[in-house]
């Protein structure tokens, strides 16, 4: 493997984009899943996250960074620079169907590969898990490891009775906790890295998404902390499984620390741009913001985001500009010296000057969601300037970021303008692929995700699944 590293970062004001492109930074993007706003240490949370905290101290944090309210649409928006209603992923992939991101979409991996980068994904894909044309190796990635779908057991690597763990389109038998295995794989890739090409490594963890599973020793730590706490960890959280979720987050933070250590050991940390963000709000609540996952209130769509690049991105800085996940695509492609010339127009905007020089964000509008009528991902929602429409409710986010006062009745002109804009955008929606269940189109047995892998399932898989199913019934 031959590539270079860039930890997504923000250059100092005097460094030009052309200069950065000549440096060919490596890019490492780390994504967490379903983390609540208030849980990590750098946001005042109870969970021990020293590695994320250090990344925030050594980099720039975004306080108004927006994603979709659920996972697949955010991932598609990040990789294409286009809203999910355009790239076919407004309705998330449910893991047991054949739909995927539209195949004519150009991905960040495509663009960076064209620019001479080695491209890899280690972790959760969730943009199509059955047909070959949807899988990462056909979407610009040179290397793949992890799961195609979602909701797998962290130890068994199964969703329901189906297996979902792969390396380069080969079904992979591997024991261990998936969070640790993802970090292990990244470390191995770094050890074999030959520094002849820059690299783009996309590492989307499945933690802290359900099912809630974590090493027992760490779980016990948080059970004891919650039981003895008189502070901000409540009995409600304990009763609803957050001791497990806290332990999962600490495990993921430890994994991230190992990844950064691997960069340093290889001698590439200084030339690596590291970007970290979360895919959507936590499932229940995200104080101080209202709402959570599947909702278009701030708690569902405003998430932590950190850029770090030693010597290039300001340390300990917070940027309050309105920035959307689609903006990462043009920002990173331009920093890498890649090309933004493509057939499908971008929704994302280059935010480098905003991140580095503190210039005003060029973004005036965010389309939070344009779900189809059958979707479970919330109401239609759009923001223009300070005004945010959520269904039939209207909020001034600049004055009321916690969405406590619905001003729809007093701002009817604003309401009507935003509704007209939604109608315009709905007319631009591209038809997504049909969400047909895999089991409706193939004969049994379905053993593993990936059409070709299932047709050529390894001999060990059926007995493994049978044994696993028996053990889970006990």
Average confidence (pLDDT) over 215-221: 92
- Provide the pLDDT confidence category of residue 473 given band limits of 50, 70 and 90: low
* Residue ranges making up the domain that contains 135: 17-364+432-473
CA–CA gap between residue 184 and residue 175 (Å, rounded): 12
pLDDT for the residue 14: 30
Q: Is the dihedral of CA 40, 44, 50, 53 positive or negative?
A: positive
Q: Reduced to 3 states, what is the DSSP secondary structure of residue 166?
A: strand
Average confidence (pLDDT) over 191-198: 92
217 located within any domain: yes
pLDDT for the residue 24: 87
Query: Directed axis angle between helix 216-227 and helix 242-266, to 10°?
Result: 130
337 located within any domain: yes
The domain that contains 283 carries what CATH number? Answer: 3.40.720.10
pLDDT for the residue 13: 31
Contact predicate 80/305, CB 8 Å: no
pLDDT for the residue 429: 93
pLDDT for the residue 226: 80
Of 27, 19, 67, nearest to 333 (Cα)? 27
Residue 318 has pLDDT above 80, yes or no: yes
Question: How many domains are contained in the chain?
Answer: 1
CA–CA gap between residue 166 and residue 279 (Å, rounded): 22
423 located within any domain: no
Contact predicate 99/433, CB 8 Å: yes
Terminal-residue alpha carbon distance, the chain: 44
Q: How many CB atoms are located within 10 Å of the residue 254 CB?
A: 17
Q: Which of 167-171, 259-263, 297-301, 469-473 has the lowest mean pLDDT?
A: 469-473
Q: Which of 194-198, 399-403, 449-453 has the lowest mean pLDDT?
A: 194-198
- Provide the pLDDT confidence category of residue 357 given band limits of 50, 70 and 90: confident
Residue 23 has pLDDT above 80, yes or no: no
- Reading across the β-sheet that carries 317-319, which strands appear in turn? 170-171, 166-167, 143-147, 118-124, 199-204, 26-32, 272-278, 305-308, 60-62, 317-319
Q: Reduced to 3 states, what is the DSSP secondary structure of residue 433?
A: coil
Q: What DSSP letter does each residue of 387-421 carry, written as one string?
A: EEEETTEEEETTT-TT-----TTT-HHHHHHHHHH
Average confidence (pLDDT) over 31-49: 95
CA–CA gap between residue 256 and residue 186 (Å, rounded): 10
pLDDT digits (tens, 9 = 90+) for 321-332: 999 999 999 999
Contact predicate 209/150, CB 8 Å: yes
CA–CA gap between residue 8 and residue 114 (Å, rounded): 19
When comparing pLDDT for 371 and 232, which is higher?
Answer: 371
Of 80, 28, 37, 18, nearest to 346 (Cα)? 80
Of 113, 70, 17, nearest to 279 (Cα)? 70
Of 170, 177, 172, 171, nearest to 153 (Cα)? 177
When comparing pLDDT for 12 and 254, which is higher?
Answer: 254
pLDDT digits (tens, 9 = 90+) for 363-375: 999 999 998 765 5
Residue 165 has pLDDT above 70, yes or no: yes
pLDDT for the residue 160: 84
CA–CA gap between residue 121 and residue 471 (Å, rounded): 31
27 located within any domain: yes
138 located within any domain: yes
Residue 289 has φ and ψ, to the nearest 5°, of -90, 155
Q: Reduced to 3 states, what is the DSSP secondary structure of residue 118?
A: strand
Sequence-ordered list of residues with C-beta below 8 angstroms from that of 334, at least 6 positions apart, any chain? 17, 21, 340, 350, 352
When comparing pLDDT for 207 and 6, which is higher?
Answer: 207
- Provide the pLDDT confidence category of residue 378 given band limits of 50, 70 and 90: low
As a whole number, the mean pLDDT across the chain is 91
H or E element that contains 318: strand 317-319
When comparing pLDDT for 92 and 414, which is higher?
Answer: 414
Contact predicate 291/297, CB 8 Å: yes
In percent, the amount of the chain with pLDDT more than 90 equals 79
In percent, the amount of the chain with pLDDT more than 70 equals 91
H or E element that contains 61: strand 60-62
256 located within any domain: yes
414 located within any domain: no
298 located within any domain: yes
Average confidence (pLDDT) over 260-266: 97
CA–CA gap between residue 380 and residue 141 (Å, rounded): 33
């Amino acid at each position: 493997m031959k590539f270079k590293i860039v930890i997504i970062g923000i250059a100092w004001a005097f460094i030009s984009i052309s200069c950065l492109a000549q440096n060919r930074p490596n890019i490492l993007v780390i994504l967490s899943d379903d983390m609540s706003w208030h849980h990590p240490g750098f946001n005042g949370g109870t969970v021990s996250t020293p590695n994320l905290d250090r990344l925030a101290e050594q980099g720039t944090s975004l306080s108004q960074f927006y994603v979709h309210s659920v996972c697949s649409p955010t991932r598609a928006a990040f990789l294409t620079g286009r809203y999910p209603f355009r790239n076919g992923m407004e309705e998330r992939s449910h893991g047991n169907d054949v739909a995927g991101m539209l195949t004519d979409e150009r991905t960040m991996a495509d663009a960076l590969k064209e620019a001479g980068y080695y491209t890899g994904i280690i972790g959760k894909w969730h943009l199509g898990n059955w047909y070959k044309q949807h899988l990462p190796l056909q979407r610009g990635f040179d290397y793949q490891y992890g799961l195609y779908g979602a909701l797998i057991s962290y130890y068994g690597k199964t969703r329901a009775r189906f297996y979902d763990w792969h390396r380069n389109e080969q079904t992979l038998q591997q024991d261990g906790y998936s969070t640790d295995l993802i970090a292990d794989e990244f470390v191995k890739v770094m050890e074999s890295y030959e520094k002849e090409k820059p690299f783009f490594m996309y590492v989307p963890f499945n933690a802290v998404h359900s099912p809630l599973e974590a090493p027992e020793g760490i779980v016990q730590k948080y059970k004891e902390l919650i039981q003895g706490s008189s502070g901000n960890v409540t009995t409600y959280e304990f009763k609803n499984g957050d001791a497990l979720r806290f332990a999962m987050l600490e495990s993921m933070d430890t994994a991230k620390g190992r990844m950064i250590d691997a960069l340093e050991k290889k001698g590439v940390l200084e030339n690596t741009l590291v970007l970290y963000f979360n895919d959507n709000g936590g499932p229940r609540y995200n104080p101080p913001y209202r709402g959570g996952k599947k909702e278009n209130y701030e708690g569902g769509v405003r998430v932590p985001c950190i850029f770090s690049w030693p010597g290039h991105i300001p340390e300990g800085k917070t940027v309050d500009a309105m920035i959307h996940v689609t903006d990462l695509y043009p920002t990173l492609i331009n920093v890498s010296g890649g090309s933004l010339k493509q057939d499908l127009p971008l929704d994302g905007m280059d935010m480098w000057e905003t991140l580095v020089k503190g210039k005003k964000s060029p973004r005036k509008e965010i389309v939070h969601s344009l779900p189809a009528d059958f979707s479970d991902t919330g109401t239609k929602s759009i923001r223009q300037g300070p005004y945010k429409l959520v269904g039939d409710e209207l909020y001034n986010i600049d004055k009321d970021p916690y969405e406590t006062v619905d001003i729809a009745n007093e701002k009817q002109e604003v309401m009507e303008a935003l509704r007209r804009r939604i109608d315009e955008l709905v007319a631009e929606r591209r038809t997504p692929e049909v969400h047909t269940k895999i089991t409706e189109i193939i004969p049994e047995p379905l053993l593993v995700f990936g059409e070709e892998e299932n047709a050529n399932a390894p001999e060990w898989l059926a007995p493994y699944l049978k044994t696993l199913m028996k053990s889970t019934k006990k």
